[in-house]
Structure 1
Amino acid sequence: MEQVRNDFVALYGSEPEGVWAAPGRVNLIGEHTDYNDGFVMPFALPHTTVAAVSRRTDGRLRLHSADIEGGVVELDAAALEPGTDHDWTAYPAGVVWALREAGHPVTGADVHLASTVPSGAGLSSSAALEVVIALALNDLYELGIPGWKLARLCQRAENVYVGAPTGIMDQTASACCEAGHALFLDTRDLSQKQIPFDLAAEGMRLLVVDTRVKHAHSDGEYGKRRAGCEKGAALLGVDALRDVAHDELDAELERLGELGGDEEVRRLVRHVVTEDHRVERVVALLEAGRTREIGPVLTEGHASLRDDFRISCPELDTVVDAALAAGALGARMTGGGFGGSAIVLAEAADVETITKAVQEAFAAASFTAPRVFEAVPAPGARRLG
């Protein structure tokens, strides 16, 4: 925190009014269900985006990042418009735009950022950036917006200002998660339940394997999947795929074909409905103290994302296959897909063996060496000082 504060002083010539942090996240289960009004189960990572911020009264928004080359970027808060910024600054500027559009009197800010959330790794670096800005401005301008509403505003910034059709999970996870817990979130009504998730106490670990294959949500493939899900819901006459009952899935898929849904739409529907069910199964297992039994459910989720949603890649499949062959309890890709990260549930005693097996499998396939680290459920967004 002190480094960020000192850098702010060097940039802007005065002390910041405060320093805030917002975490990245790992999604334990529930992929591509959030924009289908479904269930998700993320938890916050120790990796955070930290922001030193002060208010301005002249309408100027000055942005700087320690992680990106270039100087301070200066913008006019009143002139912010969706689609006009295609750089990293679109994320913090989008939050200011969303707050102002919602009627909140944000008159500018000086901002310096530094992040330890890996970018493009499927760990929600963009949501961490949005949420830390939203929380800082919420506090400084005394707006009184609760965390779940800040998440909504951040989602609007990403959807409308940045142009990425993401759901609500990432921002809510960053804003609302608690240390030592996974967040069971109903994305339809935003009801939340904190589920205890202390693997170390049970002799297990959850590894994150960053494949270093970059992805971008604003690229077309993500949007195509979302449009296909919406088409499936429209053909079935439901508000969202959340409303398709799991025990009626086979009959609904047959009906979908009769209504003109092609094979691709049927695959997307099958994934979302079964994934919602997997989230419910994981919650039930964790609440019953049967944590090891979630492993096969995670692996089922990967197969569905690979075969039905078709958003995996050779590197992600290699992580899952190598980890399972080396004794992992379960493994799957996490995040939006087309690269990014996978998670591996393992006995603590097997972590070294599994990590080595994944690294050797990547080397044998001539892939870039992956980054492997342990994921421990951390606190959500907060003020540091």
Structure 2
Amino acid sequence: MKQQPSGSQWPSTGERAEAPKIAIGPTVTAERSGLSRRALLLMTGVTFAGAALVDMLAAPTTAHADAGDDTRPSVRISSVLFATSFNLDGTLRTELDFPNVLDVDAGFAGPVALTWDPRAFDVAESIIIVFADGRPRAEVTGDQSGPGALTLSLPSGATRILLQARPLLRYPADLVDDLAATQVTVNSEVTQLPLRTQAAAAWGAELYVSWFAYEDRYLPALVEVRSVGPHPTPSGLTVELRVPRPTLGELEPDPSADSSRLDRAGAKPGISIVVDPMPAGASWQTTFELPEDAAEQEPSKPGLTVVPTAALVFTEVVAGDARDTALYSSAPVTASGSSLSDFASEQKA
């Protein structure tokens, strides 16, 4: 018996990136924070985050201009979001920034203007202002003259600006040509935030598993890997199927998958199957023989004590070029963590 495959997303994690230096005139430094694409090595999705919320809502401890040729009160970028994408043919990886926290020097009265690539970031007109004198935080509306452009006039006594933005370069909209760098204009000076590029060979894969409810557990009936390109999947891509020991003893993999191996002696018993490189648009499948009485049993809802999982694993060498499909793993649970209702019901991702 075969079912339509279904997959589930691995939780997102990451690590803090090293902070680059960004200057507006002679006075500005900025901290970039976010999550590394190296998290893909663990089959995790990439998310993007700025400074900690408690730090963003607190007024800065100092607000002054450094010594230099221009000592007028100014604005300092203290934290940025970053987004990562590939160009359409997957030969170039680009990372670009957007400021989400700006500190304001005492006495600054000029407007702050921002431009950005609207394909990369969605920026709300509503902006939060923090004051140093303990006044309640204010919410103001910036003037958006068009897509990717915003000008903000600050109220008196403002010391911090919190911009509400989110990256848009998420799979499958992560292939974009000719991205434009973000620019910030303060005191008539235009600063372009970094736009980092490097050569790449972007590839992506989606893992789908059809889980079959049998007695008190779930069995994998079908495993499918789809290559989403634009480059072929790399060598060494492996499906790691981890299941409880009783289940493992019942599984008989497709005889045509001659690269599969059974690991019944390890601490985490399972099956590892090496998937040969596939061009964009191609797919690979393997099926497992279900118990003879599986088709005759009544629909059930197993009480899972150990959740079986399937995951695509690959080396750190190729992880940097992996697209974040968020479908590098699967388990027979819903998004809330509860088990699927039964094998006859529609599978949930």
Asked which structure has the greater CA Rg, the reply is 2
Pair in the same fold by TM > 0.5: no
The structure with the greater share of residues assigned to helix is 1
TM-score (norm 2): 0.23
Q: Which has the higher contact order (CA 8 A, sep 6+)?
A: 1
The structure with the greater share of residues assigned to strand is 2
